[in-house]
Amino acid sequence: MSGGLLEGIKVADFTAVIVGPLTTKVLADYGAQVIRIGSSKRPEPTPPGPGGHIDYNTGKKSITLNLATPQGIALAKKLVAWADIVTENFAGGVMKKMGLGYDDLKMVKPDIIMMSSCLQGQSGPHANQPGFGAQLTALSGINYITGWSDRQKPVWLHSYTDFVAPHFNVFALLAALDYRRRTGKGQYIDMSQYENSLHFMAPLVLDYSANKRIAAPMGNRIPHAAPHGAYLCKGDDRWCAIAVMNDAEWRSFCGVIGNPAWTTNPKFATLKDRKANEDELDRLVETWTIQHTPAEVMANMQAAGVAAGVLQTEEEMIEQDPQFKHRSFYHELDLPDRGRYMAFRPGFVLSKVPCEVTRPPLLGENSDYVLREILKLSDEEITQLVVEGALE
């Protein structure tokens, strides 16, 4: 992309599934040239439809290599020699075993920046464990606190951490680029998705450290607000979230719902009282919300200074949300094998440089371009690579 923030930055991307591709998507959307190194024989365990490959790989190019062959490894090193950044999120130690560890890549390009973003880092007793974000939500304690106090099993938040780690990854890569700009030196970034995810648990970790309290599932409730939850509204399975954080907001809330007699009951007079009678409070709140659409509940509560939000469907977010439309968050793209679909941009806008979201590549779609235009290989060399099984 001409004029992009990262124009001229070249990335050899060995990542797969979610964390790695989402990281390099941000780089590509802001102008970096990102080459995905994939495999047609070992497809990613991610659905190829929305929510999978096409959402996380906008703006990139794709080549398929057989990294189980010496020729494939040699070709990968040619891409490293071209690149400024190498990214990977295999299990700890996998790249090193293939001969593509940081020490190997420094021999190819001394100022290379390499980022490994595996589950638990590259050192320690669990460094070599493979897995996905679904396992990390359990390890990091997120699953333990998710659910309802009156139910035996916690709710499993699938791959939540996959959408936390990329933000740390992008920040670290930009910092490494700035360091190289100032010093001429590359470096190795050992990123642990596990450690990243714990930042979202920091208040609970602090509470345990200071008070030895172990957090438990609270459903939709929190200790310092009531009412606080998702309430059934008019319509088919329609809901609105409401959060009343203090007594002043409680008075505003009561005014919105018409000050029914039950709101003057002493059992709801203070936050402490409302928390003590929260089950009854939630039932009474819902006798009002059920009479109104979620949009009506949200608008009336927000107008009175009470936090509220519709529980939107994907259709509502993409097709109707005026905020997303105003900020052009979704971009309509066209895929050769799928047709039109909506892709998202990174969740920030820079005032001086553009963000351009272009369609993701099909698997191996740009192999010929990468081999001829980037690596400058001849027809004879490409033919030999095919014969040797280096290309898939």
- CA 294/CA 39 separation, integer angstroms: 46
Tokens matching residue 45: 């365990």
Q: Which residue has tokens 């996998």?
A: 94
Short-list 49, 53, 135, 55, CA closest to 91: 135
Q: What CA–CA distance (Å, rounded) separates 293 from 300?
A: 11
Give the CA angle between residues 151, 154, 156 to the nearest 5°: 140
Contact in structure between 185 and 160 (CB atoms under 8 Å): no
Token pair, residue 145, equals 């606190």
The DSSP element (H or E) to which 64 belongs, if any, is strand 61-64
Q: Is 389 helix (H, G, I), strand (E, B) or coil?
A: coil
Task: Kindly report the backbone phi and psi dihedral angles of residue 85, in degrees, each rounded to the nearest multiple of 5, phi listed first.
Answer: -130, 140
For the chain, report the end-to-end CA distance as a whole number of angstroms. Answer: 28
Phi-psi region of 152 (alpha: psi -120 to 50; beta: other; left: phi over 0): alpha
Instruction: List the catalytic residues.
Output: 162
362 contacts 62 by C-beta, under 8 angstroms:
yes
| Angle, vertex CA 367, rays to CA 366 and CA 368, nearest 5 | 95
